Amino acid sequence: MAQPATGPAKGPCTAPPAAADTAVHPVDEKIPPSRLVPAALQHIAAMYAGVVTPPLIIGQAVGLDAAGMTRLIAAGLLIAGLATLLQTLGAGRFAGNRLPFVNAASSAGIAPMLAIAETSAPGRQLPAIYGAVIVAGVFCLAVGPFFGRLLRFFPPLVTGVVITLIGVTLMPVPVGWAQGGDATAGDFGAMKYLALAAFTLVVILLIQRFGRGFVKQIALLAGMFAGTLAAIPFGLADFSALGSAPVAALPTPFAFGAPEFQPAAILSLCIVMLVLMTESSAGMLALGEICERDTDGTTITRGLRTDGIATLLGPVFGGFPTSAFAQNVGVVSLTKVRSRYVVAAAGGALLILGAFPVLGAVVSLVPMPVLGGAGIVLFGSIAVSGIRTLAEAGLDDSSNIILVAVALGAGIIPLAAPGFYAGFPSWAQTVLGSGISAGALVAVLLNLFFHHLGTHSRNAVALKSS
């Protein structure tokens, strides 16, 4: 009897259990370069336009010259690369969710930062923005470990309203770009600018309709490239900044001035940070399901710490509020490549791009009308994402309909009537003057009113009567 017991232990039949015990999870798989490089390129293509959008918009709004725009874009790429590497590779048990998760400056903070810029003195816009961003980063680090308990105050109804308002309130930006970018210029809105923006938009639509695979994923970048080429014969593309941009240089700490801390600006960005934390948490949960890896509270806390660290340290070099990139979650779902090392490679590529400002200068050379045509697609897709979230939030309930209607109305007021809050104190103008902040505040308060305050007592009465 002893021989049959020992024989199978040495035989091949025991190999499958041993292999199963030592099998590497797809998230932790180190795939060969032949697969890693193309997969990483797809992630870069999906996120690149989104990474450079915040510095492009904010830089234009505060009147930076070509050199300043180059530094701002390089800083955005550098911080995105560092944050993505920290998120995917982790730092012990403190930070990093160790999922194929991309972190970079979020478009959700653009509108509040534009409002801060408009209410700040010339030359002090970026210091005011960076002061608020630093505090928002500290806020994220402080609230992150307890954020799971706050998620119930940010259901899809609230996040859907905020995401929709992000897209809607940003739409005037690409419209202004399509008209030439400079509202004070004599040829602002000239047909040549509108034609170039329309051409860019048509190219993006054609690629999206007829492209396949990787080509379809880079429709936005391809459209911008085609639009820039089309602008050259008409003298609408200026490449002079390439000659003055340094080939390699690290961002200088506080190159745009020491941060200033304005209470109203801080409040508006802390509200946005709550929304970003909600989006990051939802993205981690979704990615955990796609990758078939449990995403518990500890994982979410480590992921949010990464957001907080990147948001806190980003302004030192010129970065903005950092969060998850939902489009890259879609890339993982589409490609079925779940290795976190693929996204880490993409983060390393962003880090390299940020260390070579001349590459950022290439992006800043894209003509304003071209950015306008692409921006309509980019910001419109953000609004669509919010609408999709609202569609899944139970709008068949009359209370939810009222909540969304009033919150959207409050968020659109600054867009429809920019001078509506002119008689309010300056701090209120900063908060309410941003459609995102105003809509988020109203949505959270109405969610408390309809779904939290007094609900326990009403439920108790209903149970007793039944």
Please state, in angstroms and rounded to a whole number, the distance separating the CA atoms of residues 359 and 73: 9
pLDDT at 242: 67
Please state, in angstroms and rounded to a whole number, the distance separating the CA atoms of residues 147 and 318: 27
The DSSP line for 256-316 is T------HHHHHHHHHHHHHHHHHHHHHHHHHHHHHT----HHHHHHHHHHHHHHHHHHHH
From the list 139, 184, 22, 153, the residue with the least C-alpha distance to 447 is 153
From first CA to last CA, the distance across the chain in angstroms is: 67
For residues 200, 77, 66, 121, the Cα torsion angle rounded to the nearest 10 degrees is 110
From the list 252, 310, 260, 286, the residue with the least C-alpha distance to 106 is 310
Rg from Cα positions in the chain:
24
Q: What is the pLDDT along the chain (466 residues), one digit of tens a residue?
A: 444 444 444 444 444 544 444 678 888 888 888 888 878 877 886 677 678 888 888 988 888 887 788 888 888 889 999 999 999 998 888 888 898 888 888 877 887 888 888 888 888 899 999 999 999 999 999 998 887 677 677 788 887 887 788 778 778 878 888 998 777 888 888 999 999 999 999 999 999 899 887 677 667 778 888 998 999 988 887 776 666 667 777 778 888 888 999 888 898 888 888 878 877 887 787 777 778 787 777 888 899 999 999 999 999 988 899 888 766 776 777 667 788 999 999 999 888 888 887 766 676 677 889 888 888 887 787 788 788 888 888 788 888 999 999 999 998 998 888 888 888 887 777 677 777 778 888 998 999 999 888 765 444 443 343 3
Please state, in angstroms and rounded to a whole number, the distance separating the CA atoms of residues 343 and 431: 36
Residue 71 sits at φ, ψ, to 5 deg, of -65, -40
Please state, in angstroms and rounded to a whole number, the distance separating the CA atoms of residues 173 and 213: 30
pLDDT at 241: 63
From the list 300, 264, 255, the residue with the least C-alpha distance to 71 is 255
The answer to whether 366 and 181 have CB atoms below 8 angstroms apart is: no
Tokens (6 digits) for 57: 């918009």
pLDDT at 6: 44
Which tens digits make up the pLDDT trace of 315-362? 998 889 988 876 677 677 766 778 899 999 999 988 888 888 776 667
Tokens (6 digits) for 238: 């200026």
Q: Which amino acid is at 444?
A: V
pLDDT at 361: 65
From the list 84, 151, 74, the residue with the least C-alpha distance to 452 is 151
The answer to whether 392 and 164 have CB atoms below 8 angstroms apart is: no
Residue 106 sits at φ, ψ, to 5 deg, of -90, 145
- Whether the full predicted model's pTM is greater than 0.85, yes or no, is no
Tokens (6 digits) for 88: 């995917």
The DSSP line for 46-82 is HHHHHHHHHHHHHHHHTT--HHHHHHHHHHHHHHHHH
The DSSP line for 411-427 is HHHHHH-TTTTTTS-HH
The answer to whether 94 and 302 have CB atoms below 8 angstroms apart is: yes
pLDDT at 46: 67
The answer to whether 202 and 341 have CB atoms below 8 angstroms apart is: no
Distances (CA, A) of 272 to 5, 96, 159, 202, 338: 64, 21, 11, 33, 29
